Amino acid sequence: MRRLATIVATVVGTGAVASAAAPVASGAVREYWVAAVPAPTWNIAPNQRDAMAGTMLSPSQTVFPTIVYRRYTPHWGHPIRNVPGGSSNQDLIPGPLLRARAADRIRVHFKNLDTLYKRPHSMHFHGVHYKPSSDGAFVPGVSGRDGDVKPGQTWTYKLTAGSDSVGVWPYHDHSPSMDDSILGGMYGMLSILGPGQKRPDREFEVVFAPMGDFQTIDGRAFVGNTPVFTAITGQTVQWDVMAMGSEHHTFHVHGHRWVDRDGRDVDTQTVGPAETFAIRWREEDPGTWLYHCHVESHMMAGMIGTYHVRRR
């Protein structure tokens, strides 16, 4: 496979970079409306197969009800796609991609519409600045409504992106329902740019997490079901990578390399529970490529997908 010419491949804003920066005032105010909603027939493998192994999968193995985050238009107008086109291949897992820029104030209006289990839910954000009332974590006898939003109730999380918030970060349910919720796909990412930093042409979300008997990427398992990412040569692509659950994963993209946070050229990078990293490169290699977790048992259980690059 051809070597990706020189370049623009680098780790961007990993959040691991220490900084004493405090929130910077006077940024924009970015508002998001996000609800916890039922997904009564979530299908981990809609093509009902592990195409690499040539085996079929029954709906009794792959279909189950769950609760997911879903983005709405302002003031709960109507539901919209969670992610920009091409960033994932379905619009419910992961949750909405919450974009901002350092110094922005972020307002996430959350509504619990869990009519399936009628459980409490919440949103807990990593990487940004907030007061305890926007922590979104349930602590018995200590926390407030932010960590225990009952069905039918709303809560607004008030966050600030500091100069130390640049990069991608997880958010997830941290209510009393946290364990079931995370196993069911209630997680998503913040994507925060630095001052003057340009958005990539393509931004791909890759969330490694176990689900039922499978190891999933964005709540789906096996090629064709996991996101089918696409790009055109010359475009800048950014991969937002995250893990949820209790295991580490190794993110690998065939035919490409990038520079990790230690300055090394790599083509495989480890990510642990609630860790994230974002990598960028300018795409120069047309073809169909695999991306996957290189923990072999995870890959065989579904953590693998395809990336298609078309020549300009």
Query: Which chain residues interact with another protein by CB under 8 A?
Result: 40-41, 43-44, 46-49, 51, 58-66, 116-117, 179-180, 183-184, 211-213, 223-225, 228, 306, 308
Shortest distance (Å) from residue 305 CB to another protein: 10
Shortest distance (Å) from residue 263 CB to another protein: 35
Distance of CA 273 to the CA centre of its chain: 12
Q: Cβ closer to another protein: 143 or 306?
A: 306
Which strands sit side by side in the sheet containing 167-172, from one edge to the other? 98-101, 187-193, 167-172, 124-125
Category of 178 on φ-ψ map: left (φ > 0), alpha (ψ -120 to 50) or beta: alpha
d(CA 81, CA 97): 10
Shortest distance (Å) from residue 53 CB to another protein: 11
Shortest distance (Å) from residue 25 CB to another protein: 43
Shortest distance (Å) from residue 117 CB to another protein: 6
DSSP per-residue codes, 260-302:
-TTS-EESEEEE-BT-EEEEEEE----EEEEEEE-SHHHHHTT
Q: Cβ closer to another protein: 51 or 266?
A: 51
The pairing of strands 105-112 and 29-43 is parallel
Q: Cβ closer to another protein: 131 or 308?
A: 308
Q: Cβ closer to another protein: 194 or 224?
A: 224
Q: Cβ closer to another protein: 64 or 130?
A: 64
Q: Cβ closer to another protein: 117 or 130?
A: 117
Shortest distance (Å) from residue 81 CB to another protein: 15
Query: How many Cα neighbours within 13 Å face the side chain of 259?
Result: 12
- 62, 48 Cβ separation under 8 angstroms: yes
Shortest distance (Å) from residue 223 CB to another protein: 6
Joined tokens for residue 56? 């079929």
Alpha-carbon separation of residue 68 from 104, 171, 229 (angstroms):
26, 12, 22
Shortest distance (Å) from residue 118 CB to another protein: 8
Joined tokens for residue 272? 């642990």
Helical ranges in the chain per DSSP H: 59-62, 178-183, 296-300
Q: Cβ closer to another protein: 250 or 306?
A: 306
Amino acid at 234: G
DSSP per-residue codes, 82-112:
SS-TTSSSSSSSS---EEEETT-EEEEEEEE
How many angstroms separate the most distant Cα atoms in the chain?
58
Q: Cβ closer to another protein: 75 or 78?
A: 78
